[in-house]
Structures are given as C-alpha cells and as structure tokens.
Structure 1
Amino acid sequence: MKVITSILTCLAVTTTGLLSFAQETLPPAGKPKDFKLPVYKKMELPNGMKATMIPYGNIPKVTVELVIRTGQVHEPKVARWLAKYTGKFLEEGSTKNDLASLSKKVAAMGGRLTVSVGMETISIGGSVLAEFAPEFLGLLAELVTDPAFPASSADRLKNDLKRDLSVRKAQPDAQASEKFFTMIYGDHPYSNKLPTEEMLAALSVEKAKKFYADNFGAQRSSIYIAGNFDQKAVEQSITKSFSSWTKGPAINYPPAVQQRSNEIAIVERPDAPQTVILLGTPVPDPKSAEYTQLEITNSLLGGSFGSRITRNIREDKGYTYSPYSTIQNRQKMAVWYEKADVTSEHTAASLAEISKEIRGLQEKAPDIEELKGIQNYEAGSFVLTNSSADGIIDQLVFIDMNSLKDSYLTNRIKDIYSVTPQQVQNMTKKHLRYEDMTLVLVGDKKQIDNQLEEIKKTRAVKKAF
C-alpha cells in the first residue's frame, strides 16, 4: 500500500511539473537562415557525361545517384512500361556480376543499390561506406555500360509487371490519375496511361535492349556524389569507369501541349463507399518568376497539413481523411491539382467547400499571421530536406532538370519569406480558377449522378478579377 501511495505521489508531482512547464511562455521559433550550398565540384567527360561532387557531413558514408534523362516519356505508345521492364533488367546485374554477386558486393560495402524508373528519369544509385566510393562507382558503371539482360529473367520480370498492373487497375487513385492526366496531356506519355495486358505480354528482351540502346548513354547522364569522400579517388574512378561509355543520344524530351478545360469526367466504381476527387489545372513551371509565390499559395490552400482545404473538409467536416494539393512538374510545364477521397454521399458538399476555399482566397488576401505560419513550414521543410546527402542530391537534380541556377537554392529561404499576402491572392485569381479546372470523379455513378446538379452549380459561378 505504501508503494502504491509513493507511486501516486510521484505521478502527481510529475504531472504538476509538466502542467507548470506547459503553461510557461515558450520562446518564439528562430527564423531559418539562408541555405549555404556546400562548395561542390563539377566535371564533364569527353563523352558528355557530367559529374557533381558535393563534400557533405562528417559521417564516413557517401551517397551516389546516377540520373539518366530518359524514362516512360520515351516509351513507344504501343509498349507502355517498357522503361520499367528495362529498369528491372538493370537490377539483374551486368555481364560480369549477376544479381546475387552484385548484391553481395554492395552489401560488403555497407550499402544498398536501387534502380528507380520515373516519367523523365531513370535513377541508379545508393549509399556505401565512404572508403568504398570508388569501387561502388565502378559497379554502377558496369551496370549501365554492360547490362546482362538475362533471357532467363524475362518471364519473371514480365510477371512482376503484370501483377503490378492488376493492382493498379483496381486502385481508384490510379484510375483517377490516368483519366485526369489524359484530359490534360492527351496522347502524350505524360498522360501516364496504364498499359494493356497485351502490351505487357508483348514485352521482350529484344525490346528492352532496343530501349536501352535508343535512350541510354553518357550525354544523357549525370552522376551526383555527396558525403565524406576522397575527391581525387572519386574523380579518378569516374574517369576510369565511365569514359568508355558510348555517347548515346542527346537529351531530348518529346514536346507536350497542355489542354485546359472545365470538363467533368466520371469513372464508374459500382457501390464504392468513397469518391476520389481529382481537380486541377495547368500552372507556371519552376522557371517562372511566379513559381515560389505559387508554391506558397499551394501550401496555404491545400498543400500542407494546416492548409485551408485540409482543415475544412478533414478537420471541420470530416468528409475525408487525407486530402492534399500539389504541383506536378514536367519539362517546361506544370499542373496544380487537389486530390481527396471523400465519402460518396458528400461528394458535392466536398467540392462546394473546396470551391469556397479557393474563391475565398481570390476575394481576400490571407492575413500576415496565417501566411507567416505557412512560410515557416515551407522554410523548415526546405532546411530539413538539406539535412542529408540524399536531400542535397535531390535539390541539385531538381535545379538541373529545370535548368535553374544555384541561386534558386541559396535564395530559397529569402524568396519564401518575400511572398506577400497580395501575391498569394493574385496567384489564386490568376492561376487557380475553380470553375475552369478539369474535374475527375471516381466512384459510385448512381450517387455521383444524384449530386451532379449540385456539383455543376459549384462550377457555374464566374467572377471577373
């Protein structure tokens, strides 16, 4: 009994202390400082391959990422996911080291190796202990300059893609994305259309080899090395390992044209308990002088957990669990969109609230305190991104992909805090006109049809700003 009494007394004292501490006025958070990009070195081989070496941190590790400027955007229209198929073959190893051998060697370096296939890039890399950086670079070079393309793996890799397709086709998010971006980009690969089963069945080792031959090469490639490494040894390894790589094709992305429309598209999912809302429109890309203003506007409107749309339809109304908005960047173009999985019966109500928040920001600029909170969030996120070697590489890849100057990073904090309430209002008026946005709804058509008139009413109001 005495023991229990003593424990309760301790708990009471501790609780009182915590409450007392909580009632104290905490000092205001410090303002993030301007980002200082580490002094880095660039080099270019005679074959056109570029390298960026960034000394970073004191931990004896190094992160390496080889970015090849190709991907799904270069797939033939009749062979979607051919880039993914080719990427899977790269994971199988080189003619000198198969998958098992490669995995053992990388593991012995205390690291990992990954291959990632995206719309505009294929990235190959990983992290290893710093002393193995030159050797790891040699393995990467071996993998991309002399891939094995083992015929014995062809069916297994194809079956992996078939399973992935089956899963994606059953996902309402994938259905919404495919429909939405097809409406924006038409028949361009940016539409992100799923392959047919027949397309996957027709994939072959020969087609993967041709995709590799047509799209891989030194002058489409850049390698980024960040960490605590011996720069001279790394430079020597890059020169030795990659100089013999064929020059290959020049960087060239097929031009796209964005379609602007206020069309409403419905994708049927019988008896679905939720409707996936995907609403968006083309906006300026990162090269635009307005881009930072647009990013802050997005964060305040729907792109952060404390954004207006999120607080409204998640916290206040309970229509959805995780709504968000974002800006998707492509070559020389971008799209802003809001996505939310809402309960079916609240589809029209959710859109009415999204409309209200967008138009509210068009009609009245945010107050200074609300904007400051968003700016602190964006500045803090930027600082956190730069707190790792991977993050630094991601930033440098971003500015290279969008042909930006280093000042985009070094002035980032200052640019974030320079955005004014009036600029946020102007961005919403100019670029985020709800009634002119493309709208895709994936869900139970009966329930959506019952609310269609209300949905159309939310889009009928137009104001001249």
Structure 2
Amino acid sequence: MSAPTSSTRRSAEEIGSTPTGPRPLPPLGPQRAVPAPDEVDTVLASGLRVIAVRRAEVPMVEMRLRVPFADGTGPNGSGGSDHPAVAELLATTILSGTRRRSRVGIDDDLAGVGGEIGFSVDPERLAVSGHALADGLDTLLDVLADLLLDATHPEDELARERERLVERIEMASAQPSVIARRALQERRYGTHPVTREMPRPEEVSAVSADAVRALQAAALLPGGSVLVLVGDLDPAGAVARVESALAGWSSGDADALGPLPGLTAQDLLLVDRPGAVQSQLRLSAPAVGRSDPRYGALQLANLTLGGYFSSRLVENLREDKGYTYHASSSLELDPHGAVLLVETDVASEVTAPALLEVRYELGRLAVVPPSADEVESARRYLVGSLLISMTTQAGYASTLAGLAAYGLSSAWLREHPARIEAVTVEEVAAAAATFYAPTAFTGVVVADAASTADGLRALGGVEIRS
C-alpha cells in the first residue's frame, strides 16, 4: 500500500469530526475489577508497617519509606523552631557516609545492583525513595539500614551542605510561587508547624552536626513508619528480609504531625510585593478526605472546576479571557482531612478581574452544577489516571506509600475506580454546592499593592492592610 499523499492526509480536527459535528466518544464500558496482587501487609514488632507486593513485569524492586517526622517537642509539634532547618540538613547529609561506608562506598554498592536511593523531608514526613535490581534487594536494604542507624553526618559535608542549602533557600524565597505558598500557609494555619515548609537561611546557618545527629537518633524511628516494596519478589520472603536487615531499627514511635487548625472562611489577604508585574491568587476552603463517602463526588466536582485541562477555570481564565497560562483546582490531603486549593497567576493589571472570574466560577459550580457530559468527561479522566498509577512498579509503590500514610491499604486503590463509576450526577452537584460556595474560601493575593489595591478594594472580600 502506498503512503498517503499530502492531499489525502486528514488533520486531527478532521479525524475527530463528522459532517454533523464532533465525533462522539464511545461510552465507558463496565469497569472490570482490579485483581488483588500477591501482597503481604503487616506490622513488625518495631512498629514498622511493611507492604510487599509482587509485580514481576521487570526484574526490579521499588522501595518507598515514609517516616512521620514532625517536630515533637511541643503540643502538636509546636516547639523547636529550628526543626525544619535541622531536618533539611539531615536529609541532605545522610548520604555523606556511615561508620561502614563512605559516600563513594554507598554509591558503589548501590550502582553494583543497579540501585539508587534518595531522601527528602517536609513538615509531615521524611521520605526515602529507592530501587534496585530484584537480586540486589538485600544490598538495597542493607544500605538503607546502614543509613538509618549509622549515618555520621561529617562536619565538612555539613558545612558544604549548609552553604548550598542557604543559597537554594535564598533563591527560592525570591520566587513568587514560594512567597505565595508561605503566605497562604500562614493565612490558613497561623503558626502551626505545617507552615514551616522551608527554613530561614539564618536558621540553616546555625545548625551544627551534633544537632543533626541528635535529631536522627531521637526522631528517625520505626513506630508509625511505612516501608513499601513493589517488584519481582516473593512478598513473604521480602518481609522476612526487611525484618532481618532492619533488626537494629527496633524501637520508638516517630512523631506524627498534629491535627491542623480548622480552616475558617475569611477575606483574602493582600500581600504586598512591590514592583511585581504578576499577581498570585491562592484560595482555599475545607474539604473531606479519602475515607469520606463524598470523596469520589468531590473529586469529580473538583476536576470539573479546575482539576484538569478540560475544566471551567481553564476555559474561562485561559481560553476565553487570556488572563493566564495556568489555572487549577486541587485537593490537598493530610492524615486528618483535606482542603481545596484554587490557584492562578495573572498579570498585575488583571488581578481584580481574574479574582472576579475565579469567584464567578466557584459560585457557578455551586449553583449551576456540572452537566452529565462534564461529569462523564471528568470520570473518564479520573478512572484513567487511577489505572495508570497502578501500571508501573514505581507508580504503584509511590501510590501505596501515600495511601498507607493515611491508614489506607491497596484495597482502597483497587476499589476506587468502581466507586467513581458509581457516583451520580446528583451526588456531584451536592458536593459542588457543599464545598465550592465562594463564601467558604479564604486565601491570599500576592501582588503589587500600589497597582492592584484599588481594584481589589472595589471588588470587596479582600483585606488590605495599610
């Protein structure tokens, strides 16, 4: 068969259309049950929860470890203002060496089994992510145990990492998105430790190696932590290998983040950023988490508003008005619940008009509920995303670790596509009316006050401090 000529080729628009209009998408078929994997989910005597899942598509093993790592020195972790700085330096220097291995030795041992390992930290948890060839699992676990129990955090490495971290923080702190995030967290949660997502440079500069070592000994503990292994493995055997490798990591409960303060509706706060040519709009309201029966309907309502590209916010603010390149709505989950976040960045001159349109779309979602077509489009996207998250070893490991941190198991993930398919248009409308009323939101507008305050004042619902 000869190749089509330029005159016979059809464009994507032509392929997706018929003489009477756009080609309709076929209806979703019945959702087939996701088979339960070969899995062991158990809690060791140390308090470490281990989830091992056989997924033998490739001869690899993915590892995820999540340790609750809040500041536990006061009520709800409210003390110890240097905790974020010490925790960040712990995460950046833990790979510098142990009593048995140098930094190069760690890298060589992991490279020998096709492995890698990395650490990160936030106000809620310390996270470890790694992988190795399936026959290198014992080496991966041995390196992990060595780092958890015997990291030395050398003085010279700490000094270098302090300088790098201070430089990164100073650069990040000038970024509008970081300024907006910090302002939003403080508006939502006051002085709760969850707001300390990034330490101050002066706090980092004051951290000593002894403080880092002391934090690791006191806070990097197995009780309440979750270790997930997914790959070409025998689940029961993998759990036994974890128990053996981490035998020395044997006691103590990690510090979990205390409940966040209740999010209350109040005016947005104008945060002055003199000379800024762009404004950051961040709006937030209370929501419900995965264990609530309304969660599926809330997910679909959120997608309709701004959870993916084919959403009302994108169509209004980007496609119709041209105010922004990006507008979104999302659910931020924590172990105790969830909040909604609506965000967009716009040019200073359209700050007030953009906020007006965001409020309009919130109100429209609440009183003009998503149509059946909108719900079906969101349903396709959400079910597809869920299934994609289960297709790879890495994606499945990360998803399971995230669920386990909130007390959920793989069963929740396997059953959720069917729950989404069962959500009715009426349930989505009820969720939209319950959670998206504009009066339920608070947040911040980070902008040049000199050029935006008058428009925001005329619009109302914005606190403008002199």
TM-score with structure 1 setting the length: 0.90
2:363 equivalent in structure 1: 359
Q: When the two structures are aligned, how many residues end up with a matched partner? A: 452
CA distance in 2, matches of 1:11, 1:215: 67
Structure 1 segment 259-270 matched on structure 2, within 5 A: 259-270=263-274
Aligned to 1:160, the other structure's residue is in SS state helix
CA distance in 1, matches of 2:322, 2:11: 35
CA distance in 2, matches of 1:381, 1:95: 44
Change in CA separation of 1:179 and 1:333 when aligned onto 2, cut-off 3 Å:
same
Is 1:445 the counterpart of 2:449 in the alignment? yes
2:50 equivalent in structure 1: 51
Identity %: 23
CA distance in 2, matches of 1:377, 1:250: 37
Which of the two has greater helix per residue?
1
1:434 equivalent in structure 2: 438
2:32 equivalent in structure 1: 33
Structure 2: tracts of 5 or more residues without a match: none
Is 1:191 the counterpart of 2:220 in the alignment? no
Shift of 1:439: 2.7
Is 1:274 the counterpart of 2:274 in the alignment? no
Greater shift in the superposed pair: 365-374 or 229-238 = 229-238
- Pick from 311, 315, 329 the counterpart of residue 315 of structure 2: 311
Shift of 1:201: 1.7
Deviations 1:248-296 (A, max 9, x none): 2255433331241322212222221210000111222222222222111
CA distance in 2, matches of 1:457, 1:118: 32
Structure 1 segment 55-70 matched on structure 2, within 5 A: 55-70=54-69
Greater shift in the superposed pair: 71-80 or 130-139 = 71-80
1:246 equivalent in structure 2: 250
1:416 equivalent in structure 2: 420
2:398 equivalent in structure 1: 394
- Pick from 380, 384, 396 the counterpart of residue 380 of structure 1: 384
CA distance in 2, matches of 1:93, 1:420: 55
Structure 1 segment 281-300 matched on structure 2, within 5 A: 281-300=285-304
Q: Is the 8 A contact 2:365 2:436 kept in 1?
A: no
Structure 1 segment 64-463 matched on structure 2, within 5 A: 64-71=63-70, 76-192=80-196, 194-231=198-235, 234-250=238-254, 252-456=256-460
1:12 equivalent in structure 2: 6
Aligned to 2:223, the other structure's residue is in SS state helix
CA distance in 1, matches of 2:12, 2:368: 41
RMSD: 2.6
Change in CA separation of 1:101 and 1:319 when aligned onto 2, cut-off 3 Å:
same
Structure 1: tracts of 5 or more residues without a match: 1-6, 460-465
CA distance in 1, matches of 2:450, 2:63: 51
CA distance in 2, matches of 1:198, 1:132: 41
Shift of 1:230: 4.5
Shift of 1:52: 1.2
Change in CA separation of 1:157 and 1:337 when aligned onto 2, cut-off 3 Å:
same
Q: Is the 8 A contact 1:220 1:248 kept in 2?
A: no
Q: Is the 8 A contact 2:48 2:225 kept in 1?
A: yes
Shift of 1:156: 0.8
**Matched residue type, 1:156:** R
**Matched residue type, 1:378:** L
Q: Is the 8 A contact 1:49 1:220 kept in 2?
A: yes
CA distance in 2, matches of 1:17, 1:146: 61
CA distance in 2, matches of 1:333, 1:235: 30
**Matched residue type, 1:42:** D
CA distance in 2, matches of 1:399, 1:363: 33
Shift of 1:328: 0.9
CA distance in 2, matches of 1:451, 1:399: 43
Q: Is the 8 A contact 1:314 1:320 kept in 2?
A: yes
Q: Is the 8 A contact 1:72 1:83 kept in 2?
A: no
Q: Is the 8 A contact 1:185 1:257 kept in 2?
A: yes
Aligned to 1:11, the other structure's residue is in SS state coil
CA distance in 1, matches of 2:283, 2:323: 16
Change in CA separation of 1:363 and 1:136 when aligned onto 2, cut-off 3 Å:
same
1:3 equivalent in structure 2: none
CA distance in 2, matches of 1:18, 1:321: 23
CA distance in 2, matches of 1:80, 1:235: 32
Greater shift in the superposed pair: 194-203 or 161-170 = 194-203
CA distance in 2, matches of 1:194, 1:384: 32
Shift of 1:233: 5.1
Change in CA separation of 1:371 and 1:11 when aligned onto 2, cut-off 3 Å:
same
Q: Is the 8 A contact 1:304 1:324 kept in 2?
A: yes
Change in CA separation of 1:72 and 1:267 when aligned onto 2, cut-off 3 Å:
farther
Greater shift in the superposed pair: 233-242 or 59-68 = 233-242
